[in-house]
Structure 1
Amino acid sequence: MFSLTSAEISHFLLAMGCLLAMAHLLGYMAERIYIPRVIGEVAAGLVLGPTLLGHFFPDAFKWLFLGFATEDKLFGLLYQFGLLMLMFCSGLKFQTRFNREDIKITSALVIGATIPAFVVGWFAADIFNITPYLGTASNPLAMKIVIAISIAITSIPVISKIFNDLGIMHTRFAKIVIACAGFHDIMLWVALGFATAIASNGGVFTAGTALKSVGVSFGFIIGTFVLGYFLFKRLTIIKQNILFRSSNLGYFLFIMFMLSSLAGNLHVETIFGALLAGVIAKVALPKVVSERLEQGVSNISFSWFIPIYFATVGLQLDLVRHFNPLFFLAYFLFATLTQTVAVYITSRAIKQDRLTSFNLGVAINDRGGPGIVLSSVAYAAGIINQEFFAILVMLALITSWIPGTWLRIVVKKKWRLMPGDENITPQPRDDGKIKSINQSV
């Protein structure tokens, strides 16, 4: 009970070590040529997975990653932990301080970037032939929701990493984009919860099903936020909280796991619990405590769990046998133009200049981590098949690449990101790397 043989442990550690090393190596190489690290981490799975190693050396791939009966389940467990840690870190990026003008801009972008893009994505499902891409649930309605979400979603982790790498995290532009992405994605996660509920309900859709799914999701979000805010605010930094005193990080991880478990038991996606745990911690705790928590979580998450998660996504892709490049190109152009135009028009409607509107359109078009999470959850729920899973993952990766390149050009040429960011000076990033012995002496 609760045990593996010595040979199984050794084999799993070898496979995980190879995957982790490849993820860090290709992630580092990607950063060196100004590509978001997540692209390199997913590429690690492509190299060691069915796309390359499994295609040319299928026996080697099966031996490494399917070497014993439960090895795939162990990777599946790490994959889920990485997903939860990614969402927890995303919640800790949530922005809380805004002036009236910033609230107005953020609110307009949340509405203007979400609703039109979602609606266009919904009707686009009738234009594209989605039947060949249906998953095992065989539910066109659930897939239409997933397609609409894939058009409208934005990435907090990747766009935050881009801002950090460029040294512009302190700007007004970065604050508004990250806040917009946060509200944006919470709304879309509710829609995803509805889609998975339909898929798990045997495809039966009624008004009662819709009200129950959306009601439970919103009830969980509001109830968790209100109660969690009170508990975090009043019960965290007190002498009687022995768990917090014994381990600050352990205390918050316990909260995250409990909220995720509660979400799962309520048939809400577990990622909601992790995301809300991060948001509540960011909002309720003193700044010094939330920053220390974010640093501690980031150290363990971005060194192990999150790279393994993205690399495992790559392991599930087979771009040789399950990828239609022409369909992907059409879908990519459609999704990118829809999201960018929606944001641009909204920004111009609230009297932002052309360059600001274009910058916002490009930045909010970054799908990154949440785009990959969307594809993972939809694939696991049987809403989409492996081929469409690959389409959504590649869409998330390419749309993560574009903002980094464009914003780097803007900063290098010293163009204005938006009003209030005139003559900004990029700040050196804190990448958390350990100094060498010679540097530290």
Structure 2
Amino acid sequence: MDVIPPLGPESLLSFLVGLTTLLLLARLLGGLATRLGLPRIVGELLSGVLLGPSLLTHLFPALAHALLPAEPGDMHLIDAVGQLGVLLLVGITGTHLDLPMLRTRRRAALAVSLCGLLVPMLAGIGLGLLLTAPAGDGRPVLFALFLGVAMGVTALPVIAKTLTDMGLLHRNVGQLILMAGTVDDAVCWFVLSLLTAAATVGLTVGAVMSSVVSLVGIVAVAATVGRVAVCTVMRRAARAEGSAPAVAAAVVVVLLGASVSHALGMEAVFGAFVAGLLCGDRAAAKLAPLRTVVLTVLAPIFLASAGLRMDLTALGDPMLAWTALAIVAVAVVGKFGGAYLGARLSGLNGWEGLAVGAGMNARGVVEVIVAMTGFRLGVFDVRMYTVVVLVAIVTSVMAPPMLRAALARVPLRSDEQRRRQRIEHGPPVTAGRDRGA
């Protein structure tokens, strides 16, 4: 086996400068967003947009090339750091999901998931069939299906960070949004894998069966062998002195889950979330250092890098501007209205329904992943990629104020207070049996 040479000095310098630039601007704009009453995620998303072709690269290309890697290989190093951040963010979110509470409210979670997925997806497909010019390579049906998936996704990483930044992760509605969003995204990853196959080798019975078997297999193994193995590892890590063993164990479990999911043709974030569910809250108190690093360093880098490929200057075309307005309107009305309908059908009151609709409406970086997949396959062109990412930013900005306003009118329950204590400080020393996954 040939020895792989280390990273060259120029590539290392470009990587370090780019990483520092993204993190510094993301932290600065995140702090500014907080001062304006918005969560940090808003500023962190916009930092990449400002550094990319929408502003800096367009106006001052020499400065942009000095601050960010010009070579694709060097930029991929930053993408890798951001990908690590989003996987750990999703995994940590899974550790805070209150499964016993969600079992008691599974009817609400199912109703919100179905309505919040089918309504915007069907609306997106219908709109996509009306839009022929924006299609990248003349495949209008495939374009419409991709747009439908983009309208139906719920960005689990963005919701997780938004709820965390706003201190709402302990609320029952917050837990319901996480579970419903997980179901929606799992379905969308499955559909996206089928569309990817259709765009490359064609949609066959074998491809469909392979995807179904992979999804069922991950869930089945996680609920049986995986649950026992992860419980044993995390329990032993929690008994060790210091937080290092628990942090290392959690990271390994999350990355392993992501690797398995990705190897089976599904998105890595799905496996990371399932792995986080298995970790549970058994070592929650000792995972605080990991949570701090992910939320303050790795996640901001990921969110900032997501906007670097977006080009808002393309919206100078009036036709594209009207198309963007129509897509944003359909995305917001479809997702918000569908989730609200599901919440009301399941028995939630009006304010809780508004909160669920606002949370589910945030598309964030998951929509960016769908857009990048469509762009890579030639289904979306650069302009349509920009429009779809714009939906992600607009809906992520809308969610926090609406969530705050709606939940301010929902009284805090005793079980929510206990959950907040567990999330912030870990379970009490005398806690009872471990939670099942």
Q: Which TM-score bucket, shorter chain as reference?
A: 0.7 to 0.9
Task: Show CA shifts across 1:208-253 (max 9, x none).
Answer: 32222233233234334433112112344349x99x9973222232
1:7-18 map, 5 Å? 7-18=10-21
Task: Show CA shifts across 1:250-276 (max 9, x none).
Answer: 223223333333333333333333222
Among 260, 265, 268, the alignment partner of 1:267 is 265
Query: Unpaired runs of 5+ in structure 1?
Result: 433-441
Among 397, 400, 420, the alignment partner of 1:401 is 397
Q: Among the aligned pairs, what percent are the same residue?
A: 21
Task: Show CA shifts across 1:297-351 (max 9, x none).
Answer: 3222223222111111121112113773322211111111112222233333344
Secondary structure of 1:169's aligned partner? coil
Cα distance in 2 for partners of 1:38, 1:189 equals 23
Matched to 2:82, the amino acid is Y
Task: Show CA shifts across 1:105-146 (max 9, x none).
Answer: 2222122222333233333321233x52437xx755554333
- 1:100 Cα offset (Å): 6.6
1:33-432 map, 5 Å? 33-67=36-70, 70-98=73-101, 102-129=105-132, 131-134=133-136, 140=140, 142-201=142-201, 204-238=202-236, 247-282=245-280, 287-293=281-287, 295-321=288-314, 324-410=320-406, 414-416=408-410
Query: Is the alpha carbon distance of 1:302 and 1:314 closer, same or farther for their aligned partners in structure 2, counting shifts above 3 Å?
Result: same
> Quick check: 1:5 aligned with 2:1?
no
The answer as to whether partners of 2:247 and 2:286 remain within 8 angstroms in 1 is no
Secondary structure of 1:237's aligned partner? helix
Matched to 1:296, the amino acid is P
Cα distance in 2 for partners of 1:61, 1:417 equals 48
Cα distance in 1 for partners of 2:379, 2:223 equals 29
Cα distance in 1 for partners of 2:28, 2:421 equals 23
Query: Is the alpha carbon distance of 1:274 and 1:322 closer, same or farther for their aligned partners in structure 2, counting shifts above 3 Å?
Result: farther
Secondary structure of 1:170's aligned partner? coil
Cα distance in 2 for partners of 1:329, 1:429 equals 42
Matched to 2:154, the amino acid is T
Query: Unpaired runs of 5+ in structure 2?
Result: 426-437
Secondary structure of 2:154's aligned partner? coil
Secondary structure of 2:269's aligned partner? helix
Cα distance in 2 for partners of 1:429, 1:32 equals 27
Report the more deviating stretch, 306-315 or 142-151. 142-151
The size of the alignment, in residue pairs, is: 417
Cα distance in 1 for partners of 2:101, 2:422 equals 23
The answer as to whether partners of 2:306 and 2:365 remain within 8 angstroms in 1 is no
Once superposed, what is the RMSD of the aligned Cα atoms? 3.5
Query: Is the alpha carbon distance of 1:7 and 1:128 closer, same or farther for their aligned partners in structure 2, counting shifts above 3 Å?
Result: closer
Report the more deviating stretch, 221-230 or 389-398. 221-230
- 1:23 Cα offset (Å): 1.0
Matched to 1:76, the amino acid is D
Query: Is the alpha carbon distance of 1:384 and 1:96 closer, same or farther for their aligned partners in structure 2, counting shifts above 3 Å?
Result: same
Secondary structure of 1:51's aligned partner? coil
The answer as to whether partners of 2:351 and 2:406 remain within 8 angstroms in 1 is no
